[in-house]
Amino acid sequence: MSETLLADAPAQVLPSVAPPAAPGRSLSELKRRVTLLLPAVREGAEARERDRVLPQAQVRSLVAAGLLTLRIPVRDGGPGGSVRDLIELVIDIAAADSNVAQALRPGFLFVEGLLAGPDEAARQLWWPRCLRGDFIANAGWEIGGPSGAVTTQLRREGDHFRVTGSKYYSTGGLYADWISTVAVDEQGQPVRFVLPRDRAGLELLDDFDAMGQRLTASGTTHLSDVLVHEADIVPNPTGGLAEGVRTVVTPLAQLFLGAVLAGIARNELRDAVAFAQQHARPIKHSSASRSVDDPYVELSVGEISARALGAEAVVLRAAERIDAAWGADLDQDAIVHASIDVAQAQYLASESALKAAELLFEVGGASTTWRRHNLDRHWRNARTVSNHNPRLWKAAVVGAWHLKDVPPPASGLF
């Protein structure tokens, strides 16, 4: 489906909130505004996912509330939130609609890259745009070659550039004001730049074909001889670090996925309780007259609850480890320890969300599989998020760390 076809979708009205964060606006006020929007984000999520209706209004309402400014320092007009503050809100949003949470990931990571980088001029350019409510999405990965390879070409043309190529997994693109992407120049060096989404020759497609997280707008971005100005280039967006030197942005990027999984697990608990209370009937030979009194329904809901709590706990613990790395002035050892904790949190959050999604079907009979309930979306969404990086690699890397003091690969996935 092309972007133009999506314009015919019915408009949705969400509760009004205060305008984006003004200079000095507090973290507590930002959290309050976001919390007010969560019921509207949650409402109709299962139907949107079933009928493939992009949550345009939900995403834009959160951006307009200033959500993406959370980590901008107070001295620069932002709330100055911690990584834990960020991850707590991501879990809350993912518990309402995991598609919305993941669609926002590039915007948060763009801000985080500017925070970790040395380029003050880039920060001064982009902070005002973020504070006024702009959303920067990404168009990074390509297919058809080695994983991580970039074939999109950037060539100089006088005092500007032209870029041609195609990108996949362009998370959040259809919701965004700006698209951040990367190409290789004539010397084969990667160059990152940010384009307004209406730049001529930039085409965004809603063709994401995964079984889950189908509303993250993670489809294709085509770049056809697109004009790139010098001012569009964002030098060293994640710190400009030397090859093999770690950036604190990477574990946060991975932990964000763990937070989405923790939110899915919490949502699974909510749906399990609601189904048992409102729809389920005890099986014929049950000792209970109501499903909520059936010991095996109680057991299933209790296990789902434990797994949801466990996923949230390990993810928040890892967030604190990233905050500690910031507190240690981004010492490399501190970043390695954060990466190890994040890998463990991802492994456990993935396992918890997937198992809880399976247990959800134990709270009722055949009716739990009805399409109108769309309960299978939880497993599909959790499986899709987990498949961003091989989960078994996470555990193996942690094992190598304990056994041989081998640090995680500096591959961008730890």
The helix/strand count (H/E) of the chain reads as 13, 7
User: For residue range 374-386, what is the model confidence (pLDDT) as tens digits?
Assistant: 999 999 999 999 9
Check whether 181 has a pLDDT greater than 90: yes
| Alpha-carbon distances of 358 from 46, 291, 349, 373, rounded to whole Å | 17, 18, 14, 15
pLDDT attached to residue 370: 87
In the beta sheet, which residues pair with residue 334?
A: none
Whether the CB-CB separation of 367 and 319 falls below 8 Å is answered with: no
Q: Is the pLDDT of residue 8 over 70?
A: no
Q: What is the CATH class of 3-135?
A: mainly alpha
Check whether 35 has a pLDDT greater than 50.
yes
Output the pLDDT for position 288. Answer: 62
Which of 193-197, 246-250, 408-412 is least confident?
408-412
In this prediction, residue 168 carries a pLDDT of: 87
Q: Tell how strand 136-139 and strand 178-184 pair up.
A: parallel
Query: 148 pLDDT exceeds 80?
Result: no
Distances (CA, A) of 265 to 18, 280, 353: 30, 20, 5
Q: At what angle do helices 83-96 and 295-327 cross, to 10 degrees?
A: 150
Q: pLDDT by residue (tens digit) across 327-345?
A: 999 999 999 999 999 999 9
User: How sure is the predictor about 2, in pLDDT bands with cuts at 50, 70 and 90?
Assistant: very low
pLDDT band at 107 (very low <50, low <70, confident <90, very high): very high
Residue 21: pLDDT band (50, 70, 90) is very low
- The mean pLDDT value of the chain amounts to 89
Query: CB-based contacts of 319: which residues, under 8 Å, 6+ apart?
Result: 82, 83, 84, 86, 87, 88, 255, 259
- What local confidence, expressed as pLDDT, does residue 137 receive? 96
pLDDT tens digits for range 274-298:
988 998 666 667 676 577 778 888 9
Q: Picking from 227-236, 248-257, 307-316, 338-347, which range would have the lowest pLDDT averaged per residue? A: 227-236
Distances (CA, A) of 112 to 82, 135, 357: 11, 14, 31
pLDDT in tens, 246-262: 899 999 999 999 999 99
**Domain assignments of the chain as residue spans, ordered by start:** 3-135, 153-232, 249-404
Prediction pTM value = 0.91
Banded pLDDT at 6 (limits 50, 70, 90): very low
Fold adopted by 249-404: Butyryl-CoA Dehydrogenase, subunit A; domain 3 (1.20.140)
Pick the CATH number of 153-232 from 3.60.40.10, 2.40.110.10, 1.10.340.30, 3.40.228.10: 2.40.110.10
SS3 state at 203: strand
Q: What is the pLDDT of residue 193?
A: 95
Per-residue model confidence as pLDDT tens digits over 353-367:
999 999 999 998 888
